[in-house]
Structure 1
Amino acid sequence: MTISTPDTLTIATRQSPLALWQANFVKDILEKLYPTMKVKLLEMVTKGDKILDTPLAKIGGKGLFVKELENALYEKRADIAVHSLKDVPMVLPEGLTLGAYLERHAPTDAFVSNKYLHLDEMPAEAILGTSSLRRECQIAHAKDNLVIKSLRGNVGTRLSKLDNGEYDAIILATSGLQRLGLDARIRHELDDELSLPAVGQGALAIECRDDDEIILSLLAPLNHTQTRLCVIAERAMNRTLEGGCQVPIAGFATLNGNTLTLCGRVGSIDGKTLLKTTQSTTLTHDDDEGLAQILGIQVANDLLSQGADKILKEVYHT
């Protein structure tokens, strides 16, 4: 089947250096696939970019970095929007869909410091910066003698705050640093056992209108099957827990042959309680996406049976 290629395609993107890298990454792929099509960027500022003096969880985590981009899709000022999947709410607005999940880059968290080579070297009362309740609860569970402070801003801003001495170390997504060519700032990647990644971390997703068959056809070659199945399971877990992207929930799936395994965690922010579960399913190629969804729901229900709902309720009302 021949795809009818439009003359131009517009990508809605945030203006941060990392978001622009991601949008240009997708732009380059599309231009190689469809040489006659001109791809343009529509740069935008989101609510999450504007409010920088408040922890994300306090201003509501759902859609903070995507709503303005979604409005551009609704208004047909853009054809697609490129997102870090971990920023995308678990339930999409009516009329929009994720048309492609790109191959996942490094899903881990990275330890960055000018003073210490490893998290384990940090002494009592040393200051660790992170914007993530997920990272905070897991690290506090493992090391309860650190002072963990909120850290907001784009990657460059966060590194500047570290370099200015406001923090002894900070935790950032490995993939973001690598995409910006800042690998040298990474002292080490945190082990999954210490800090299980966020749902969708390291993966890019492309959002579009769900009735735009031409765009959906153009995006089809960008879909990475293994990543898609893993993040569908992760997002089903988070959706069942009624969690957004700024809550102390971790979820990470792996696919080995036909075996899809999902690890899930929910923790109290002080780190005193950290609930864990791991479950697997065998994919049959009949309804792999459905099986991935079921696995996510099962992992969430296991966490709920351990008391995750009580922990999350406290977080939402803090």
Structure 2
Amino acid sequence: MQSPTPFARIGTRGSPLALAQAQLVRRLLAQAHGVDEDDIAISVISTGGDRSQASNASLTEIGGKGLFTKEIDEAMLAGEVDIGVHSSKDVATAMPAGLRLAAFLEREDVRDAFMSVKVQSLDHLGERARFGTSSIRRAAQVLRVRPDLEIVPFRGNVGTRLQKLLDGVADATMLAMAGLNRLGEGHRATAALDPEIFMPAPAQGAIGLAVREGDARMAELVAALDHAPTHAAIGAERAMLAILDGSCRTPVGALSSGSDGRLTLRGQILSLDGKDCFESAASGSDPLEIGRKVGADLVAQAGSDWLAQWTRR
């Protein structure tokens, strides 16, 4: 039985993956602080991103990735929930005033998974096969190696997308390995893609925990779950993205690695058709400095004319 005054209140989307992530956070919080899981409430909040799934439109077309967090943010600011549990890659680069990302769980597999019920790899797809995705990053990366493929709109939760493959809506797609693993569906991946070639989205594979600014109690509670290496990597990737967000809406990839307090970040931007690709890398001990350096170098490499042509589209 849930207590009348919960130890903490978690806000989450209602998709199977979002609920699995919220339940993981609840379990870890309960273990870390010696309380019953039932004393931590989970509130399911419908977001604009969820309601737009049926449209199949890309997030870029309908308002950006903040669509998956806006209503949760509003509930936090209204004092209705205390902790927002997010897939970090869905969080807008600039948090709303009054909120901050305070902690990150240890990162899951960052790779994308190739998914098909017809073939075993991207190379085995027939000419002009249909590749389903509404991610401009995934579309550009696929077109970079297979420019003959037809990109078709493809949104929905994991189960929906798998069913679309079975229904023949597309011949193949990509999903994040992290999401499949958290749902116990990792075995469904046809193949895990090389992240050096198919660079993940910034912050992919990390669960972020948002709290209100000034809420010292909640900040202390989630701090017990924070994984320092993941926090550093996500900090660098989001810092890079902050530089790029001010310049363009092109596909962006990021890949971090680190040890002994030193972090290396590789960043990538592509044209929507995958024909142009710019990459940069930097290493050091300050995640924000590294991210800003990579972002600035990518902008400098691409140049204002190149960036402008894709911004206008």
Q: Please give the TM-score of this superposition, normalised by the length of structure 2.
A: 0.93
**In 2 relative to 1, CA 47–243 (structure 1 residues): closer, same or farther, beyond 3 Å?**
farther
Matching of residues 17-166 of structure 1 within 5 Å? 17-36=16-35, 38-52=39-53, 53=55, 54-166=57-169
- Kindly state the Cα deviation for residue 163 of structure 1 after the two structures are TM-superposed: 0.8
Measure how far apart 1:145 and its partner are. Answer: 1.3
Change (3 A) 1:65 1:7: closer
Corresponding residue pairs, total: 305
AA matched with 2:143: A
Q: Which amino acid aligns with 2:70?
A: K
Aligned to 1:185: 188
Task: Sort the Cα spacing of 1:151 and 1:245 in 2 relative to 1 into closer, same or farther, 3 A.
Answer: farther
- The Cα shift of 1:258 comes to 3.2
Q: SS state of the match for residue 276, structure 1? A: strand
Letter of the 1:301 counterpart = A
Within 1, Cα distance between the matches of 2:249 and 2:181? Answer: 22
User: 1:250 maps to which residue?
Assistant: 253
Q: Distance in 1 between matches of 2:169 and 2:22?
A: 31
**2:302 alignment partner, one of 288, 303, 307:** 307
Residues 87-138 of structure 1: CA deviation (Å, up to 9, x unaligned)? 0011111110112111000001000111111111112101111121111111
Query: Secondary structure in 2 aligned to 1:63?
Result: helix
Could you tell me how far apart the structure 2 residues matched to 1:26 and 1:149 are? 35
Instruction: Tell me, in whole angstroms, the C-alpha distance in 1 between the residues paired with 2:276 and 2:65.
Output: 24
Q: 1:75 to 1:23 in 2, by over 3 A?
A: same
Structure 2 counterpart of 1:15, which letter?
G
1:140-170: CA deviation from partner (whole Å, max 9, x where unpaired):
1111111122211111111111110111111
Structure 2 unaligned segments of length 5 or more: list them.
none
Residue-by-residue CA offset, 1:49-84 (whole Å, 9 max, x unaligned):
111212211001141100000011011110101000
1:116–1:16 distance in 2 versus 1, CA, 3 Å: same
CA contact (8 A) 1:267 1:311 kept: no
CA distance in 2, matches of 1:308, 1:88: 27
Q: Which residue of 1 aligns with 2:7?
A: 8
Distance 1:246 1:153 in 2: 22
CA shift, 1:313, in A, is 3.7
> Which of 252, 258, 262 is the aligned partner of 1:259?
262
Q: Shift of the alpha carbon at 1:33?
A: 1.7
Aligned-pair CA distance for 1:257: 2.4
Change (3 A) 1:103 1:308: farther
Alpha-carbon distance, 1:311 to partner = 4.7
Contact 1:261 1:279 (8 Å CA) reproduced: yes
With 231-240 and 37-46 compared, the bigger mean Cα shift is at: 37-46
Partner of 1:286: none
Between the aligned residues of both structures, percent identity stands at: 39
Moved more, 262-271 or 32-41: 32-41
Indicate if the aligned counterparts of 1:62 and 1:245 stay in contact, CA closer than 8 A: no
Partner SS, residue 251 of structure 1? strand
Name the CA distance, whole Å, in 2 between partners of 1:231 and 1:193: 18
Report if the CA contact (8 A) 2:66-2:92 is conserved.
yes
Q: How much does 1:34 deviate?
A: 2.2
Q: Name the TM-score, length of structure 1 as normaliser.
A: 0.92
Letter aligned with residue 167 of structure 2: N
Contact 1:102 1:203 in 2 (8 A): yes
